[in-house]
Structure 1
Amino acid sequence: MKLLIADDNPVWRNLISAAVENWGYRIELASDGNEAYELLQSDDPPRLALLDWLMPGMEGVEICRRIKQDPENPFTYIILLTSRDRDEDMIQGLDAGADDYLTKPIVAPLLKSRLTAARRIVEAVPPMKWTKPQIEGFDIDHLIGRGAFATVWKGMHRASGKPAAIKIIRADLATDLVFERFAREIQVMRKMDHPGIATIYASHLERDLAYYAMELIDGESLANYIARESPRATRIIEMMAMVCDALQHAHDHGVIHRDVKPSNIMVGPDEQPKLVDFGLSKSMFRTKSPVSANSTHDGAVLGTPLYMSPEQARGDANSVDHRSDLYAVATMLYLFLLREHPHGALSLSREETIDAIANTDPRPATEINPKFNPKLESILSRCLSDDPEERPQSAGQLAQELRDFLNDRAALRTQTL
């Protein structure tokens, strides 16, 4: 079986190659991320990959994310190699789709056992297609997405005749942590009933079969929509207000999203933004029940770094509440309108981004564009405050402020005609 070893450090690359070459693998080497990504997208790609987390060109974790999200790629078992040994780093790697995670220095017997287990899994998976599942009440059409522990299928809900996206956990691969997070995601989504949040039709949660079926949004992410359509600034602001409406509904049901970002907002033909992926969500209500040993521990830095609030970036779990979601909304609006990040983080690494958000003040919008509307700058500045008490105190309040701004502008234009 073909094995890719990708590491920019020639010492590690050679050490691993020397250990592996006697174990019956055909080895391919890459010295940077771009080279590794090209090999994994070739006509005959390796189906086992050892990817160094940090590499020039493209980080191993980003390669993993892209490969796992592309339904046209064959199943590739990816092991991330890194010197990081914090729990939150491991969680980030697994969230990117990694199948396994090894910290350096690597012990040869451990690596051999991990590769042996990986080979058994790969050989059990068809190279190009996953077996079409049978789900009661649904007609399954074709695969539309795949990750390390789940597949997503396009299907039809027989009772309603509506198209559905069906996410199914691979019970043979899912860890207890993955299973618990999936169960929490189902529990959260079943609470929601709002036009700005994807509707869940059905779910089933057992160890041998776990899935949920939700509304299939025939569209694209908010980021892709804005890049393709180049909507006016007023339209972008209006859509952010609609996202706030959806967040208010979630917050009213005691749910903080914690990972609000453009890729978690889908836009369909009706141009209604819909919030998806509550996998990192957290209850706004305190619980007296004991915390599971597999639950995310306090201090873990979860979510996408670019859209984190300062309290998330600091790992201050007790301070993360619904106002953290509003910080993310303001960051998106800032990026869409100014094409810059409030903390100048577009060219920074994950660690540098987290540090910048946690320890620096956001740049005022007028520093980037002196003609930026001062009223809108005031709204953004309050949302991006380091102190949650200075932000709007609800998503509904922020939605109203954005709509008031749009109404004032419209009235001013009418008066000047």
Structure 2
Amino acid sequence: MGFISIRPWPLPIGVFWHALTFKNCSPRSPAPMSELLHEEEDPLELTMHEFGHLSPTAEMRETRKNTGNLGRQHYEILQLLGEGAMGTVHLVRDNRLDRTVAYKQLHKRIQSDNPEVHQRFLGEVQITAQLPHPYIVPVYSLEVTEAGVGYTMKCIQGKTFKELIQEARQNNAEPQKISHLKTLPNLLEHFIKVCEALAFAHFKGVIHRDLKPANLMLGPHHEIYVMDWGIARPFGEAAKDYPFEAGEKGQMIGTPRYMSPEQARGVNDRLDARSDLFSLGLILYELVCLQPAYQASNTTELLEKVRKATLNPVRFFRPELKIPRELQAIIGKATAWKRAERYEKVEDLIQDLRRYLRGEAVLAAPDTFSQAAGRWFKQNRTTCLGSLMALMLASSSWTIWNLLQQQSTLQSALQREQVITRFMGQVLHQAQEVDRYMLAIPRALENLAGTGVQAFEQGKRFPQAPYYLDDAHWSERVPNQIDSPHYGTRISPEWATLTIAWGLPQAEVQALIETIAPLSLYSRNLLLRSGLEQGLKPGNPSKQIAKQGMPLMFINLSSEQGLISFFPGASYNTPGYDPRKRPFYLLVKNKRGIHCGNPYIDRLSGSLLPCSLAIYNPQEKFLGVASIDMQFNYLAREVLSIGNIQGLRNSYLLDEKGQIIVKGSDRNQKIERREKINTGLSLQKFKNPDLLRKIELQSQSGYLRGSDTTLGYLRLNFQGWYFVVEADTQKLFEEPK
């Protein structure tokens, strides 16, 4: 199934924390508490759960007063964003990474008095962290401190879908100002992104169970976030070890107005992706009609309708506007009472919505003969009008010629628009995959850096643990070596290699060697997890690392003392080598945050792109560097590969300055190896000045059409980098053969 599990399964079965949506996460302009949306005011839209609200205890009231310490010196509290019966959410600055994040913390008393709630809180962290997707709010770290357990996550700004619906309703309140069908395509594009996030979660074996407009957010740059995974649960094969099945039996878990019929019946062990799909259908109903799908005066009446899927007819809240037949059918299929009559998976709903936006027939409502003829006429207007005008040619040849010219111009413009729409759709889809891949890097680095702090600062020595130094005897001593075409040499897929800076006596770092020697297994698991997160099927781990390769090439932990541990193990034994002088180390030495760049040519594995994070102790002392290397060929082959674009020339990954990090054409590049230490490669600027101006202005997405070249681009969430596709203009716009 592809779901990554950590035993035991601490997954949540009920909401113990209402969602908090932050309108402003900037410490410079704090949002007043009146602007924090603490769930909906409508009681029919509140999430049902099995835990009652707790009155604030003395400890909670004291916590509200004393918010100056979260138990970690690297977090600086900026303001309190919200507080519930179970805990608090603060806006904090992470001084290690120099960024502002949200810190969500469970009240310490709740942890001791209700261990099940504590376990489910941990489950919310785990399940969200295992869903690396651009449209799912990322979790940064789990923190266990004296003040209690908590976790950091991205603090997002924007408007919820509930607010968008309310605004659209206000804008269409007067009959003479109804413009919903003109703005609806934009809302549907946002909704499709939500569906893409859910499709990814379902692929991972997780259902959300609390989808509603208030849990979906549109950011200031049109980014989408699916929030509040507090009652998510595994399904299918992923749920075979779910320990809370008995406790959920017969429980209604979710928000009544947006539940599926099976959720309302409490058959939680039988839920699958089609339950979320039903909820998506209800949200789509509101986006289209600007009113809820159910009308009820109390929860009992509502739940009765939900169990039978008795929706209101698909009608706009103003009778003057008629909803297109295709949209009515799509909503009807998504919200069918019988699961077998719904779309089989969310991807099918996405495809039908895209067909509607392209003006094509939808699978939910196939065209009749007359409807197909009418649709054909609209799409082939020039041909039809040409035939009609031919009959009148004798009497009005000039008028005919003029009309045909106009129709031809309009048809050409329509065709160009369709080409661009299709082209940008392909660019945006691949950019999403690129972003998903790249966003796995910060998580891996932060985990590695956390391990580095413990090892370098307070690590316990393991004198009996085996370790393998990079010397002339490495190949003789290291067990289970494998010839690796991916790495270009024999490697150890089980053991890390330890390298001491050239000329440094081993005795000076022996204590550190004995501290980090057991980390081979940790590094191996980190490497394998990068493959699982990108959809790699489980297999023989050693062979997968050596033969197939993982998204991450090397996992490196370097100390300021001059010792580096890198996995997988290999023998370099390079005279003059000092990890403290290498590009991956100098990239972040005495800096804050994650940095990617300084590509260099590895002696064995060719061109590598490092991403690094400096390691500091709580007293802000620099200890070393956590770094990850990625191979150019792998990035080009697995990440930048984009097909089915007419006239495709190349694809690019650019940094925030418009410098070319890697090109899709590098997939076929011969791996270059050098015997001597390479100090680094220089990056070249992209040559299109118009695109460079767009990057300088931090433009989010768009296309640039020239007489020779057409470029499509999208700004990624990762490091402000850009994914760019280059195509031959003439070939892109010519009729397919």
Q: What's the offset of the Cα at 1:172?
A: 1.2
SS at match of 1:325: helix
Amino acid at match of 2:190: M
Please give the residue correspondences for 1:13-412 in structure 2 after superposition, counting only pairs within 5 Å: 72=33, 91=49, 94=52, 98-99=53-54, 120-121=58-59, 124-126=62-64, 130-135=67-72, 137-174=74-111, 175-205=114-144, 209-228=148-167, 232-286=183-237, 287-289=239-241, 291-292=243-244, 296-345=247-296, 348-366=297-315, 371-408=322-359
Q: Structure 1 pair 364/168, CA: closer, same or farther in 2 (3 Å)?
A: same
Distance (Å, rounded) in 2 between the aligned partners of 1:207 and 1:134:
6
Structure 2 residue ranges without an equivalent (≥5):
1-16, 23-30, 35-46, 172-179, 362-374, 382-406, 411-737
Amino acid at match of 2:131: M
Distance (Å, rounded) in 2 between the aligned partners of 1:405 and 1:290:
39
Q: Is the 8 A contact 1:68 1:147 kept in 2?
A: no
Q: Is the 8 A contact 2:165 2:286 kept in 1?
A: no
Aligned residue-pair number: 315
Q: What's the offset of the Cα at 1:356?
A: 1.2
Q: Structure 1 pair 316/156, CA: closer, same or farther in 2 (3 Å)?
A: same
Distance (Å, rounded) in 2 between the aligned partners of 1:275 and 1:332:
13
Distance (Å, rounded) in 2 between the aligned partners of 1:408 and 1:343:
29
Match of 1:42 in 2: none
Amino acid at match of 1:99: L
Match of 1:108 in 2: none
Amino acid at match of 2:214: S
Q: Is the 8 A contact 1:196 1:273 kept in 2?
A: yes
Q: What's the offset of the Cα at 1:93?
A: 5.8
Distance (Å, rounded) in 2 between the aligned partners of 1:243 and 1:381:
19
Q: Structure 1 pair 131/378, CA: closer, same or farther in 2 (3 Å)?
A: same
Q: Deviations over 1:303-330 (max 9, x none)?
A: 1111101111111213321111111111
Q: What's the offset of the Cα at 1:160?
A: 3.7
Match of 1:25 in 2: none
SS at match of 2:262: helix
Q: Structure 1 pair 300/213, CA: closer, same or farther in 2 (3 Å)?
A: same
Q: Structure 1 pair 324/68, CA: closer, same or farther in 2 (3 Å)?
A: closer
Q: TM-score, normalised by structure 1?
A: 0.66
Q: Structure 1 pair 319/158, CA: closer, same or farther in 2 (3 Å)?
A: same
Q: Deviations over 1:250-293 (max 9, x none)?
A: 11111100001111112211122200111000102344547359
Amino acid at match of 1:308: M
Match of 2:392 in 1: none
SS at match of 1:211: strand
Taking every aligned residue pair, what percent have the same amino acid on both sides? 26
Distance (Å, rounded) in 2 between the aligned partners of 1:123 and 1:139:
21
Match of 2:640 in 1: none
Amino acid at match of 1:260: L
Q: What's the offset of the Cα at 1:393?
A: 1.6
Q: What's the offset of the Cα at 1:204?
A: 2.7
SS at match of 1:408: coil
Compare CA radii of gyration and give the structure with the larger one: 2
SS at match of 2:248: coil
RMSD: 3.5
Q: What's the offset of the Cα at 1:207?
A: 8.8
Q: TM-score, normalised by structure 2?
A: 0.39
SS at match of 2:358: helix
Q: What's the offset of the Cα at 1:362?
A: 2.1
Distance (Å, rounded) in 2 between the aligned partners of 1:181 and 1:201:
18
SS at match of 1:365: coil
Q: Structure 1 pair 341/133, CA: closer, same or farther in 2 (3 Å)?
A: same
Amino acid at match of 1:169: L
Q: What's the offset of the Cα at 1:158?
A: 3.3
Q: Structure 1 pair 363/159, CA: closer, same or farther in 2 (3 Å)?
A: same
Q: Is the 8 A contact 1:71 1:146 kept in 2?
A: no
Amino acid at match of 2:215: N
Q: Is the 8 A contact 1:202 1:213 kept in 2?
A: yes
Q: Is the 8 A contact 2:165 2:290 kept in 1?
A: no
Q: Structure 1 pair 326/173, CA: closer, same or farther in 2 (3 Å)?
A: same
Distance (Å, rounded) in 2 between the aligned partners of 1:153 and 1:306:
30
Amino acid at match of 1:358: R
Q: Is the 8 A contact 2:315 2:323 kept in 1?
A: yes
Amino acid at match of 1:263: A
Q: Is the 8 A contact 2:309 2:336 kept in 1?
A: no
Distance (Å, rounded) in 2 between the aligned partners of 1:213 and 1:201:
5
Distance (Å, rounded) in 2 between the aligned partners of 1:273 and 1:351:
33
Q: What's the offset of the Cα at 1:233?
A: 1.3
Q: Structure 1 pair 123/380, CA: closer, same or farther in 2 (3 Å)?
A: closer
Distance (Å, rounded) in 2 between the aligned partners of 1:334 and 1:238:
15
Q: Structure 1 pair 146/319, CA: closer, same or farther in 2 (3 Å)?
A: same
SS at match of 2:110: coil
Q: What's the offset of the Cα at 1:296?
A: 4.0
Q: Deviations over 1:348-403 (max 9, x none)?
A: 22222111110353233159767211111111001010111211122222122112
Q: Structure 1 pair 119/249, CA: closer, same or farther in 2 (3 Å)?
A: closer
